[in-house]
Amino acid sequence: MRAGGLPLAVLLLALWGCQVGSGGIPHGLYNSSKAFTAAADMRGSDWSDPAEMERAWQAALVRIPKPDGGFLSTTVADLQQGAAAPLGVWPTVIYLHGCAGFWPGTLTRINFLARNGYAVIAPASFARRKYPRSCRTDIHEGGLYRPIVRMRQHDAGHAIAGARALPWVDGDNVFLMGLSEGGITTATFVGAGPEHGVRARVVEGWTCHAGWWEYAGINAPPTEPVLTLVGTKDPWFQDRWTRGSCSPFIDESNGSRSVVYDSGYLQSRHELLEDGGVQRTVLDFLHAHTAR
């Protein structure tokens, strides 16, 4: 079997032939372990390179609910190599990580969704061989490589289309969700065709305001309701270009919502989904827009 023009066996060795980091996240898929490509060495053709998108897809973390209330933890690559076949057909969330790649909070989010009846596929954009650093988390600095959102959008589209080909994915109930840079990607994603359509979108930790036009606003069509979540004092978005919320871009007539936390500890948080109340808000939104 070949993936993106590469033998799958070779691709898997490249992805998984290294040690696993803390929390069960493979080495190289988070900021402190990734060998980044210099921005000067990136080319526009890298953003949509089929082999690169396939690397992100093969390395995707997967969670699939079980009828007993638990969930299967695996990857796309492991499933294609003959891992235990999942039971049932599930509404599925394509989950997009933030600028730092996978971290323990990624597992918190995808496990939470799986425990509540949603399969999850989280493409690993850091699995690309050519990938530039886009942020420094220690000083809340983003935008180090402006076209990063273009790359992330290609990975999102590849994952949405790939998910629909899987027998355990309910193709009528595919959702897009992301945190921070993954939230920007979720808000601005524009599919190339019907295979890229989703039921609804969830954006965590983003204001929809930016000095770069391609980062700003929401590009979801009217058929795709959007839930956005942000704290007013989010430490990542306090300059005059990024301060605010997605409220001006929300179309409430289709069920979209902008939730702005302006009091309590959540107002100063970037990552919100560790909070039980926020989790309930997300579940209520997903349930409301899941076709029965």
Domain CATH number, residue 215: 3.40.50.1820
pLDDT-derived band of residue 14, with 50, 70 and 90 as boundaries?
very low
What single-letter DSSP state applies at residue 85?
Answer: P
Task: Kindly state the tokens that stand for 65.
Answer: 């609910």
Higher confidence at residue 5 or residue 95? 95
pLDDT-derived band of residue 246, with 50, 70 and 90 as boundaries?
very high
- Our separate counts of H helices and E strands in the chain read 8, 10
pLDDT-derived band of residue 210, with 50, 70 and 90 as boundaries?
very high
What are the helix (H) ranges across 81-193? 104-115, 148-164, 181-188
Residue 104 phi, psi (nearest 5) = -55, -30
The residue range of the domain holding 92 is 2-288
Tell me the pTM.
0.91
Q: Give 75-100 pLDDT, tens digit per residue.
A: 999 998 876 677 899 999 999 999 99
Residue 3 has pLDDT above 70, yes or no: no
Residue 84's pLDDT is what? 67
Identify the burial level of 151 via C-beta atoms within 10 angstroms of its C-beta, where 0-12 means exposed, 13-18 middle and 19 or more buried. buried
Share of the chain above pLDDT 90, in %: 83
Higher confidence at residue 139 or residue 23? 139
Residue 30 has pLDDT above 90, yes or no: no
pLDDT-derived band of residue 29, with 50, 70 and 90 as boundaries?
confident
Residues with Cβ < 8 Å from 292, sequence gap 6 or more? none
Residue 69's pLDDT is what? 83
Average pLDDT over residues 234-261: 97
Q: Give 168-197 pLDDT, tens digit per residue.
A: 999 999 999 999 999 999 999 998 888 999
Per the structure, the count of domains in the chain is: 1
What single-letter DSSP state applies at residue 215?
Answer: G
Nearest to 76 by CA among 56, 100, 53, 98: 56
